[in-house]
Amino acid sequence: MQVLKFGGTSVANAENIDRVISIVSEKIKSDSTVLVVSALGGVTDLLLHAAVLASEGDESFREKLNYIEQRHLEAVKSLIPVTHQSQLLSLVKKSCNEIEDICNGIFLLRELTDRSRDRISSYGEWLSSQIISAAFRAKGIENVWKDSRELVVTNSVFTNAEVDFEITGERIKEFFVENKSTLYVLPGFIASDKQGVTTTLGRGGSDYTAAIMAASLNAALLEIWTDVSGMMTADPRLTANAKIIPHISYQEAMELSHFGAKVIYPPTIQPVMSRNIPVWIKNTFAPADNGTLIEATASRNGNIVRGISSINHIALISLEGSGMVGIPGFSRRLFEALSNEKINVILITQSSSEHSICVGINAASAPQAKQAVDTAFANEIALKKVEPLIIETELSIVALVGENMKSHPGISGRMFSAMGRNGVNIRAIAQGSSEKNISAVISTRDVKKAINVLHEEFFETAYKQVNLFITGTGNVGSRLLAQLRQQAQYLQQKMHLQVRVVGLSNSRRMLFKEDGVDLGSWENQLGGSVPANLNSFVQGIIDRNLRNSIFVDITANEEVASVYDRLLQKSVSVVACNKIAASSAFSNYRKLKDLADEFNSHFLFETNVGAGLPVIATLNDLVRSGDRIHQIDAVLSGTLNFVFNNYDGTRSFASVVRQAQTEGYTEPDPRLDLGGVDVMRKIMILARESGEMIEMSEIENRSFMPPSCMQGTVEDFYKEMEKEEAHFKKLYEEARDKGCKLKFVASFKNGKASVGLQHINPEHDLYHLYGKDNVVLFYTDRYSEQPMVVKGAGAGADVTASGVFADILRASK
């Protein structure tokens, strides 16, 4: 004997029922078969919804019932030949009239009891099973239909009745001995109490009916046919990367289903486990797929964690108070109060100080729990020994399940740090002593992210997904997008990173695309999107709450620099090409770094100094490895280098500056470069990264620019420079006469930073600098005689984009 159960989607309509018939007709060739079916997909929900509408006095329950009737009539008409339809059609009509009568009663009374709920929802399976039985017969496959309510006997806890296994087992055995057939068709989910009143086994309960049949008949196997190809490593609706679990033990399957894996109804495993009946989860829509085999022991498959699941609608109730410490009986009384109300306890944690007991329950029972517990402890509350029960809602549980976890230390560490890195706050933790399960209570809004983060941590060793939100699509931005596109394959293959641009914005337009903007056509996509709004862009990032999120600022905009704090504290990393934040007031710079530390995000700005050159990364590496910075000398302005490398008095200084601007080296206002402000910002950032608390006002600027040039508009600036040509020529000649070159040098030494023009002789490390080169010399404990030198192009869209790229990779760790 074998038992096969087909769920709601598998029997949703005639077309699907045909698939079921073809699967079953193969199966019955090998063994006699018990077929347990659900209601046509969605019908249970519709029936219960109609009942609720009726109880609320809403006449539209009739429309729902009409629709239910139509669904069944259509199924009959497509499955059964016209000549044989009439009996079944009138059965459907008669049943639907009965449902309507019951709903009318509910409508008049405005009262819906659990008993009526069960009565109404029982029609779903009752009808589907008769239609399916007739459909087999129409195909020439004889079968026996039996109403499960006559076999499965329960107590009278309507909507969630408990099975009396003894009576049920006897009735099933008796029936099957007396009625021989190769195929039996039975409704799942429905049962009756000892008085013969209809009960149900709880939502999803058809699986359980099938398991009860399998156990009572000592079947050779139980197959649960559904709409996925097996039990998966996580809910496929929450993570696209969920994989089929080929083998799993009863215990693990039970834990996973208890903690939310809807694919099997939790009580299903128990009856078959005690008889060691193998259970297969199979896909009606892909019957050739292997599916999942659930057995006593499952082979190890290299994964320590077998699966991840989650339950929503959890409330955490906490009983707290100094009066509880050391006094026995508090937990007993708490659990008694809950159990008297039939409130199911899902998770328990108690602090070792015994100062509080925290229990996870179904949120719907929270008000009831509050009342029961506060009454039970009324005395202690009055005496202020304990607080009134504290209730927190909008919580969920995520659980890791796997029997092998106990032999691997560090799993919970990995679990919590992966969530921590992504800003998922953990409210309570529970780990069974058998260590088959580690659960954490988190906010419901973080569930999807947590599941994905954990799935990535424990199952997707192949790659990690990084979600970018980029603002700024100018020279550097568009080069970055091109580099990301070009490197996508390499990153996936060599670095195991799947980097997607989920949000893209410039000053005009913005775009979100959760499965990633196609980098081949981002301009078109952005063009067709909505007008940009910084605030909604930031909110969009926060609301999406995606794991490994990075905000990339490739603007020079002050407003954009002011949103970093909002993102960092949501564990979104910030990669800034924009210098404004790192060179703002020290307190702001510090705050952003602290937020990044506190919320496990990164705040990175390598390109603020020397574009793509690894200046800050090198400095950080030196400091982190215990070296101390004594002195930094650097030439950090691409513009000033260009100007002094090209100016030799043969044409005017102003014209060389203008050339630098046309070639794109300068800031939009070239005076920021010429006046040294840009270089001051850079040396300040290096000083800060060396550990110095320093502000712009403390940096000495020995400017070579005549003050007259620094006033008025940019055009005035060029005019004034022409007038001062003699001044610039003199500077040049003084240096040349000594065999030196002019370099605008930034220095940091003994806590002081300064910038200014210097004569550099040919022996000096700063002498040989060409084009837009930058150079930084680090003098440290370890590099005391000869400095460590970082040198190379310090400006340009491509190198800057590659520096941003490098920061993105750093932030992806």
Which are the catalytic amino acids?
682
In the complex with ligand ADP, the residue whose CB is nearer, 236 or 420, is 236
Q: Which residue among 202, 236, 278, 323 contacts ligand ADP (CB under 6 A)?
A: 236
- Residues 248-267 interacting with ligand ADP (rule: CB under 6 A): 261-263
* Shortest spacing between CB 202 and ligand ASP, in angstroms: 8
| Interaction between residue 796 and Mg ion (CB under 5 A) | no
Q: Is 107 helix (H, G, I), strand (E, B) or coil?
A: helix
In the complex with ligand ASP, the residue whose CB is nearer, 211 or 372, is 211
Measured between its terminal Cα atoms, the distance across the chain in Å is 54
Distance CA(72)–CA(69), nearest Å, equals 5
Q: Which residue among 2, 3, 4, 8 contacts ligand ADP (CB under 6 A)?
A: 8
* Shortest spacing between CB 119 and ligand ADP, in angstroms: 22
Encode 552-573: b = buried (16+ Cβ within 10 Å), e = exposed: bbbbeeeebbebbbbbbbbbbb
# residues near ligand ADP by CB under 6 A: 20
Interface stretch with ligand ADP, choices 1-9, 18-26, 122-130, 215-223 (CB under 6 A): 1-9
- Residues 205-224 interacting with ligand ASP (rule: CB under 6 A): 205-207
Q: Which residue among 2, 6, 8, 116 contacts ligand ASP (CB under 6 A)?
A: 8
- Residues 753-782 interacting with ligand ASP (rule: CB under 6 A): none
Distance CA(696)–CA(677), nearest Å, equals 9
Contact 479, 801 (CB under 8 A): yes
**In the 8-state DSSP scheme, what is residue 444?**
G
Interface stretch with ligand ASP, choices 204-212, 599-607, 668-676, 724-732 (CB under 6 A): 204-212
| Interaction between residue 260 and ligand ASP (CB under 6 A) | no
In the complex with ligand ADP, the residue whose CB is nearer, 230 or 676, is 230
Residue 802 binds which of ligand ASP, Mg ion, ligand ADP, none (CB < 5-8 A, kind-dependent)? none
Which residues share a beta bridge with 796?
none
Interface stretch with ligand ASP, choices 201-209, 459-467, 469-477, 748-756 (CB under 6 A): 201-209
Contact 526, 509 (CB under 8 A): yes
- Residues 48-77 interacting with ligand ASP (rule: CB under 6 A): none
Distance CA(737)–CA(677), nearest Å, equals 29
Interface stretch with Mg ion, choices 2-10, 468-476, 622-630, 767-775 (CB under 5 A): 2-10
CA angle 204, 209, 210 (to 5 degrees): 105
SS (H, E, C) 515-557: CCCCCCCHHHHHHCCEECCHHHHHHHHHHHCCCCEEEEECCCC
- Residues 171-230 interacting with ligand ADP (rule: CB under 6 A): 204, 226-228
Nearest to 606 by CA among 617, 597, 590: 617
671: CB partners within 8 A, 6+ apart: 677, 705, 709, 710, 714, 717
Q: Which residue among 10, 33, 38, 548 contacts ligand ASP (CB under 6 A)?
A: 38
| Interaction between residue 232 and ligand ADP (CB under 6 A) | yes
In the complex with ligand ASP, the residue whose CB is nearer, 8 or 267, is 8
Residue 720 binds which of Mg ion, ligand ASP, ligand ADP, none (CB < 5-8 A, kind-dependent)? none
| Interaction between residue 311 and ligand ADP (CB under 6 A) | no
**Chain centroid offset of residue 724 CA:** 61
Nearest to 271 by CA among 5, 582, 507: 5
Q: SS3 breakdown of the chain: % helix, strand, coil, rounded to 5?
A: 45, 20, 35
Which helix (H) or strand (E) element contains residue 337?
Answer: helix 330-340
**In the 8-state DSSP scheme, what is residue 433?**
T
| Interaction between residue 794 and Mg ion (CB under 5 A) | no
* Shortest spacing between CB 10 and ligand ADP, in angstroms: 6
Residue 232 binds which of ligand ASP, ligand ADP, Mg ion, none (CB < 5-8 A, kind-dependent)? ligand ADP
| Interaction between residue 551 and ligand ASP (CB under 6 A) | no
Residue closest to Mg ion when measured from CB atoms: 204
Residue 124 binds which of Mg ion, ligand ASP, ligand ADP, none (CB < 5-8 A, kind-dependent)? ligand ASP
**Chain centroid offset of residue 96 CA:** 43
| Interaction between residue 612 and Mg ion (CB under 5 A) | no
Distance CA(175)–CA(184), nearest Å, equals 11
Distance CA(317)–CA(253), nearest Å, equals 28
Interface stretch with ligand ASP, choices 88-96, 199-207, 442-450, 623-631 (CB under 6 A): 199-207
* Shortest spacing between CB 309 and ligand ADP, in angstroms: 6
# residues near Mg ion by CB under 5 A: 2
Interface stretch with Mg ion, choices 3-11, 366-374, 682-690, 796-804 (CB under 5 A): 3-11
- Residues 298-357 interacting with ligand ASP (rule: CB under 6 A): none
Nearest to 5 by CA among 395, 309, 279: 279
| Interaction between residue 189 and ligand ASP (CB under 6 A) | yes
- Take residue 596 and report the two structure tokens written for it: 């990044």
| Interaction between residue 204 and ligand ASP (CB under 6 A) | yes
* Shortest spacing between CB 37 and ligand ASP, in angstroms: 9
Interface stretch with ligand ADP, choices 235-243, 412-420, 429-437, 797-805 (CB under 6 A): 235-243
- Residue 81 class from Cβ within 10 Å (0-12 exposed, 13-18 middle, 19+ buried)? exposed
| Interaction between residue 9 and ligand ADP (CB under 6 A) | yes
Residue 295, Cβ neighbours under 10 Å: how many? 17
Residue closest to ligand ADP when measured from CB atoms: 7
Residues in the chain: 813
* Shortest spacing between CB 224 and ligand ASP, in angstroms: 10
In the complex with ligand ADP, the residue whose CB is nearer, 48 or 53, is 48
Q: 804 to each of 481, 523, 591, 677, how far by Cα in Å?
A: 11, 20, 22, 22
Residue 642 binds which of ligand ASP, ligand ADP, Mg ion, none (CB < 5-8 A, kind-dependent)? none
- Residues 14-53 interacting with ligand ADP (rule: CB under 6 A): 38
Contact 40, 128 (CB under 8 A): yes
**In the 8-state DSSP scheme, what is residue 341?**
T
Q: Which residue among 3, 4, 7, 399 contacts ligand ADP (CB under 6 A)?
A: 7
| Interaction between residue 230 and ligand ASP (CB under 6 A) | no
**Chain centroid offset of residue 172 CA:** 46
Angle, to 10 degrees, between the axis of helix 475-494 and the axis of helix 797-811? 50
| Interaction between residue 204 and Mg ion (CB under 5 A) | yes
E strands, 172-298, are 183-187, 190-193, 198-200, 221-226, 247-249, 279-283, 292-295
| Interaction between residue 16 and ligand ASP (CB under 6 A) | no
**Applying CB under 6 A, which residues contact ligand ASP?**
7-8, 38-39, 44, 124, 188-189, 203-207
**Applying CB under 5 A, which residues contact Mg ion?**
7, 204
**Applying CB under 6 A, which residues contact ligand ADP?**
7-10, 38, 204, 226-228, 231-232, 234-237, 261-263, 307, 309
